[in-house]
Amino acid sequence: MMKDNNSAFEIEKGWLVGVHRKKSPYFTARSLADKVSLLVIHNISLPAGCFATSYIDDLFLGKLDYRADLSFNDLVGVKVSAHCLIRRTGEIIQYVSFNNKAWHAGVSSFKGRKNCNDFSIGIELEGTDSLPYTNLQYQQLLTLTHCLQKTYPAIIKDHIVGHCHIAPSRKTDPGESFDWQYFHQCLQ
């Protein structure tokens, strides 16, 4: 199910109302000290450059058939999740409650603070570093970001980053195809 692009999202008990939920086993409870103050934007496609497959769901749910594609050999034993995925169609799927830590950032640091999973929300965009994202993805990301900022006011504009910003030696996403200028302009 996808919310109308003009309507705001609501969060109840850490879950977006009206979006598809697929609960990942890959999360950790947040402690009271884990105040959410960071939004991390990622990209993902499985196999790389292929869209509208079930493989992202399968990865986040721990059900990926590693024999389905040779590139999946690199994912054997990987336990990873995100709070949400925004598909190219604008559909949002939530895997982990915002009240919990999704396993999206890995070894990471933001403004000297390590372990970004502890204090962040991770949003995956179905895409690659080099292919433009869709207008529907930007619209949904903007609506979702506004909702998250309302619920977690410590997520200020300067605390919305790409995976590349918190793990620069390991990650490049959301890549040069993500239009940060457009995103920040629309976010105001």
Mapped onto helix, strand or coil, the DSSP state of residue 39 is: strand
- Closest Cα to residue 171, out of 82, 42, 84, 75? 42
- At 14, list the tokens: 């850490």
Strands 120-126 and 100-102 come out as: unpaired
Provide the β-strand partners of residue 122. Answer: 40
Residues marked as catalytic: 124
Give the burial class of 21: count Cβ atoms within 10 A of its Cβ; 0-12 exposed, 13-18 middle, 19 or more buried: middle
- DSSP label at 68? G
For 115, phi and psi rounded to 5 degrees? 60, 65
Give the burial class of 20: count Cβ atoms within 10 A of its Cβ; 0-12 exposed, 13-18 middle, 19 or more buried: middle
- At 39, list the tokens: 């939004």
